C-alpha cells in the first residue's frame, strides 16, 4: 500500500505575500517529484517612483515554467487588476485553461479588445456554488462580498486535506448589486471535521479593528450628498465597482437627477454588467455629449479618474480641458474612492485644482462616501469562528499586515500559523512544514510594449539620470594625439543658473580643457585613456561645484 505521506498538499505564494498587489499563488498535490499544480490568480501591481517609465509590474512565472507539464490550469477569484491583470501577458505561453465566472470572463475579453492584445487564453466558465474537478483537486467557488461583482473564495479539496483560499472579501451584510458573503457555506465547511482545513486569508485590513462599513452606509452617504447639492454633482469612483455605480444611479434617481457617464472604463464595465443582468432596474445612462443640455440641478456626472490618471475625465475637467464637460463654482465633486499608494499626489493635485475654482470637493475624510472591500479584525475573527481552521497562512499584504494577521490568528487559538513570504513553500498536509525561499520568484516589468526583467529594463539607469543629469563630451584625436575636432559638449538635466559666477557649463569646459592639456600628446592618442581621464575629471569637478556627481558619457574618436 502506498505511503499516504507521499501525497502532500503544498502552497507556494509567487506574488502578493509581503507586498500589496501582484497576487499569484500555486497549490501542488501529490508526491514531491510528481506533483500536479493549479494556479490561483495572476495579477499586477503598478510602477511607482522607483520604476520610472514602468506601467505595470508582473510576477515572474519562472517556477511555473519549470513545472509547466504538471500545471492543470489557472483559477481566478475576481477581476481586479491585482488579481487578473497579468493573465493576458503571462498565461498564453502556458496554453492552459483559465477558469473564471461570467463577469470575470467578460472582463478578460473586453480587456483584450480594448488593449488590442493579440494573444488569447482559453476561458472555461465556473459557477459559484458548483464544484469542479481539476486532476486531484476539487475546487468550489464560494460567493464573497467585495468591491466588484462575482468575487469568489475557493475551497480546494484533496485527499490530504482542504484549503480555503479567500481571495478578497468582507462580511458585508448589505452589499449593493450582489449577494452577501455566503457565511452559511463557510459554517458548513467549518462543521465538517472529516478533513483538516487550512485558511489562506486576505490580510489587507488586518491592522484595523472593528468591521469594514457596509456598502449600504456608503449608499446612504451618497444619497444625502446628492440630494443636498444645490447645483451639479460629479462622482468619481473605481470603474470596476459596479455596486457603487448602482448606488450613485439610485441616489440620482431619488433626487430627480439624470446620470451622465464619462470615461471608457465605466462604459465598458457597466456595459458588461448590464449584459449579465447585474444592473436590472437601473435606467440607461446618458452620454457626455448630453451633459450641457441638462439643468445644473438635474445632473449627476459619473466619471473616471479617481486615481489621478492624467487623461481620465475628472483630471481633464479639473484642468478645464474636457471638450464636453465643465464644472463651476458651487458644483460638488465626490471622490467615492481611496488613493492607491503611489497615487496620492496626483489625486490631491486634481482636488486642489477643483477647490481653487470654487468646487465643493468631498472625500472619505469628510463623509461616508467610500468603504474598503477587505475585512477588518472583527470580520477575521468571525471567519475563524465559522471555518475553525487548524492552519492559518496570512496573504495579500505587506510585512506589517501579515504579522498583524498572524498575531490575531494565534490570539484566537488557531493551532498553526505560518509566516510565509513570496517564494516560500508551505506543506499544508500532512504535517505542516515551512520551507523559506524554496522556489525562485521575482518581478517582470511591462515597459511600454516590452516585457522584461528589472535588469533588462534599464530602470536603474533612468533613476541615475533623474538624480544626476547627463553630460556628453565628444572629440576626435589623430594618431599623434592632436585634437582635430571638438570637444563638443551636451548637458541634460543639470542646473542652468545665470549669474556672475562660473556656470556648470564653464566648469565642465574648464575640466575638459585642463584634463586634455595634462595628458602628453603621445598618450592622447589612446582613446581609452582619454575617456577614463575625462570621465573622472568631469565627475569630480562637477561634484565639487554642484554637490552631485553627474552621469558622464565621453566619446573619443581616433582618426
Whose CA is closest to 79, among 47, 44, 48, 55? Answer: 44
In this structure, the answer to whether residues 128 and 200 fall within a common structural domain is yes
Domain match, 48 and 21 both: yes
The verdict on residue 523 lying in a domain is yes
pLDDT over 80 (residue 282): yes
Nearest to 8 by CA among 424, 418, 430: 430
> CA angle, corner 154, sides to 152 and 157, nearest 5?
160
Check: CB of residue 195 under 8 Å from CB of residue 388: no
229 and 338 both lie in a single domain: yes
Residue 236 in domain: yes
* Domain containing residue 289: CATH number: 3.40.50.10710
Same domain membership, residue 264 and residue 306: yes
- Write out pLDDT tens, residues 81-111: 999 999 999 999 999 999 999 999 999 999 9
φ, ψ for residue 345, nearest 5 deg: -60, -45
Domain-embedded: residue 123:
yes
Q: What is the mean pLDDT of residues 233-258?
A: 96
Say if residue 42 is in the same domain as residue 180: yes
Mark which of 395, 425, 451 sits at the end of a domain.
451
* Lowest mean per-residue pLDDT among 397-401, 442-446, 497-501: 497-501
Residues 164-181, mean pLDDT to the nearest whole number: 95
What is the per-residue pLDDT for 407? 98
**Nearest C-alpha neighbor of 51 from the set 461, 494, 545:** 461
Examine the fold and report which residue of 328, 362, 396 is the final residue of a domain before the chain moves on. 362
The torsion of the CA quartet 146, 147, 150, 156, rounded to 10 degrees, works out to: -40
- Sequence-ordered strand ranges (E) for 255-359: 258-262, 286-287, 299-303, 332-336
In this structure, are 121 and 86 located in the same domain? Answer: yes
Q: In angstroms, rounded to a whole number, what is the distance separating the alpha carbons of residues 473 and 365?
A: 53
Reduce the DSSP state of residue 126 to 3 states and report it.
Answer: coil
Q: How far apart are CA 145 and CA 211, in angstroms?
A: 13
Both 228 and 149 in one domain: the answer is: no
Q: What is the pLDDT of residues 522-533, one digit of tens each?
A: 888 888 999 999
Residue 70 counted as domain residue = yes
Q: What is the pLDDT of residue 246?
A: 97
Residue 348 lies in a domain: yes
Say if 312 falls within a structural domain. yes
Residue 367 lies in a domain: no
- Cell readout for 490 is 551636451
What domain range is 226 assigned to?
215-362
355 with 417, same domain?
A: no
| Cα distance between the two ends of the chain | 81
Mean pLDDT across 487-499: 84
pLDDT at residue 499 in the model: 63
Asked if residue 363 has pLDDT above 80, the reply is yes
What total number of domains does the chain contain? 3
Confidence at 515, pLDDT banded by 50, 70, 90? very high
Give dist(CA 351, CA 368) in Å, integer. Answer: 18
Contact 551, 543 (CB under 8 A): no
Q: Would you state the cell numbers that stand for residue 553, as one nine-digit string?
A: 558619457
* Mean pLDDT across 391-402: 97
My answer on whether 183 and 204 are in the same domain is: yes
At 369-382, the pLDDT tens digits run 999 999 999 999 99
CATH number of residue 43's parent domain: 3.60.15.10
The sign one gets for the Cα dihedral 179, 184, 186, 188 is negative
The single-letter DSSP state of residue 524 is H
Asked if residue 192 belongs to a domain, the reply is yes
Where a domain ends, among 399, 422, 451? 451
pTM (two decimals): 0.90
pLDDT tens-digit readout, 200-226: 999 999 999 999 999 999 999 999 999
Contact 401, 204 (CB under 8 A): yes
> What are the tens digits of pLDDT across the range 187-204?
999 999 999 999 999 999
Residue 508: give its domain's CATH number.
3.10.20.580
pLDDT for residue 552: 93
Residue 551, pLDDT above cutoff 80 = yes
Cell of 356: 481653487
| pLDDT at residue 262 tops 70 | yes
Q: Is-contact 558 484, C-beta < 8 A?
A: no
User: Are the C-beta atoms of 341 and 398 separated by less than 8 Å?
Assistant: no
Are residues 178 and 55 located together in one domain of the fold?
yes
- Whether residue 40 is found in the same domain as residue 136: yes
318 and 386 inside one domain: no
Quote the cell numbers at residue 35: 506533483
pLDDT tens-digit series, residues 297-340? 999 999 999 998 889 999 999 999 999 999 999 999 999 998 88
pLDDT in tens, 416-473: 999 999 999 999 999 999 999 999 999 999 888 888 888 888 888 888 888 889 999 9
pLDDT in tens, 151-162: 999 999 999 999
- Give the confidence band of 115 by pLDDT, cuts at 50, 70, 90: confident
Amino acid at each position: 500500500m502506498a505511503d499516504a505521506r507521499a501525497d502532500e498538499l503544498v502552497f507556494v505564494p509567487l506574488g502578493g505575500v509581503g507586498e500589496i498587489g501582484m497576487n499569484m499563488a500555486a497549490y501542488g498535490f501529490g508526491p514531491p517529484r510528481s506533483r500536479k499544480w493549479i494556479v490561483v490568480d495572476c495579477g499586477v501591481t503598478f510602477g511607482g517612483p522607483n520604476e520610472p517609465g514602468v506601467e505595470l509590474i508582473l510576477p515572474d512565472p519562472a517556477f511555473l515554467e519549470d513545472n509547466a507539464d504538471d500545471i492543470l490550469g489557472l483559477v481566478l477569484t475576481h477581476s481586479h487588476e491585482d488579481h487578473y491583470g497579468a493573465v493576458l501577458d503571462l498565461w498564453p505561453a502556458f496554453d492552459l485553461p483559465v477558469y473564471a465566472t461570467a463577469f470575470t470572463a467578460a472582463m478578460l475579453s473586453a480587456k483584450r479588445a480594448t488593449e488590442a492584445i493579440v494573444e488569447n487564453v482559453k476561458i472555461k466558465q465556473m459557477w459559484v456554488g458548483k464544484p469542479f474537478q481539476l486532476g486531484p483537486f476539487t475546487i468550489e467557488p464560494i460567493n464573497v462580498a467585495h468591491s466588484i461583482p462575482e468575487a469568489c473564495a475557493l475551497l480546494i479539496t484533496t485527499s490530504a486535506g482542504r484549503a480555503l483560499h479567500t481571495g478578497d472579501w468582507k462580511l458585508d451584510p448589505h452589499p449593493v448589486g450582489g449577494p452577501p458573503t455566503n457565511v452559511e457555506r463557510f459554517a458548513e465547511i467549518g462543521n465538517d471535521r472529516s478533513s483538516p482545513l487550512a485558511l489562506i486569508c486576505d490580510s489587507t485590513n488586518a491592522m484595523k479593528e472593528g468591521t469594514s462599513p457596509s456598502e449600504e452606509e456608503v449608499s446612504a452617504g451618497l444619497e444625502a450628498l446628492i440630494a443636498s447639492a444645490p447645483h451639479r454633482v460629479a462622482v468619481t469612483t473605481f470603474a470596476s465597482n459596479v455596486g457603487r455605480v448602482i448606488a450613485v444611479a439610485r441616489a440620482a434617481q431619488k433626487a430627480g437627477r439624470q446620470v451622465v457617464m464619462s470615461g471608457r472604463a465605466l462604459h465598458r464595465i457597466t456595459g458588461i454588467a448590464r449584459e449579465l443582468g447585474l444592473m436590472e432596474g437601473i435606467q440607461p445612462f446618458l452620454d457626455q455629449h448630453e451633459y450641457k443640455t441638462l439643468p445644473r440641478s438635474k445632473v449627476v456626472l459619473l466619471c473616471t479618474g479617481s486615481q489621478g490618471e492624467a487623461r481620465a475625465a475628472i483630471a481633464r475637467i479639473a484642468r478645464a480641458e474636457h471638450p464636453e464637460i465643465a464644472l463651476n463654482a458651487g458644483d460638488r465633486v465626490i471622490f467615492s474612492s481611496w488613493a492607491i499608494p503611489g497615487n496620492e499626489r496626483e489625486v490631491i493635485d486634481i482636488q486642489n485644482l477643483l477647490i481653487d475654482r470654487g468646487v465643493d470637493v468631498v472625500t472619505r475624510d469628510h463623509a461616508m462616501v467610500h468603504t474598503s472591500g477587505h475585512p477588518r479584525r472583527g470580520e477575521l475573527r468571525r471567519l475563524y469562528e465559522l471555518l475553525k481552521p487548524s492552519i492559518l497562512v496570512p496573504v495579500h499584504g505587506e510585512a506589517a499586515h501579515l504579522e498583524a494577521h498572524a498575531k490575531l490568528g494565534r490570539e484566537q487559538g488557531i493551532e498553526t500559523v505560518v509566516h510565509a513570504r513570496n517564494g516560500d513553500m508551505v506543506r499544508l498536509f500532512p504535517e505542516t512544514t515551512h520551507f523559506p525561499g524554496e522556489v525562485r520568484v521575482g518581478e517582470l516589468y511591462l515597459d511600454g510594449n516590452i516585457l522584461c526583467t528589472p535588469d533588462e529594463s534599464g530602470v536603474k539607469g533612468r533613476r541615475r539620470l533623474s538624480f544626476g543629469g547627463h553630460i556628453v563630451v565628444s572629440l576626435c584625436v589623430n594618431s599623434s594625439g592632436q585634437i582635430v575636432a571638438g570637444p563638443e559638449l551636451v548637458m541634460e538635466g543639470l542646473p542652468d543658473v545665470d549669474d556672475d559666477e562660473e556656470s556648470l557649463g564653464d566648469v565642465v569646459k574648464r575640466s575638459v580643457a585642463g584634463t586634455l592639456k595634462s595628458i602628453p600628446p603621445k598618450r592622447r592618442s589612446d582613446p581609452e585613456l582619454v575617456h577614463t581621464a575625462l570621465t573622472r575629471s568631469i565627475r569630480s569637478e562637477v561634484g565639487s561645484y554642484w554637490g552631485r556627481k553627474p552621469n558622464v558619457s565621453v566619446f573619443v574618436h581616433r582618426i
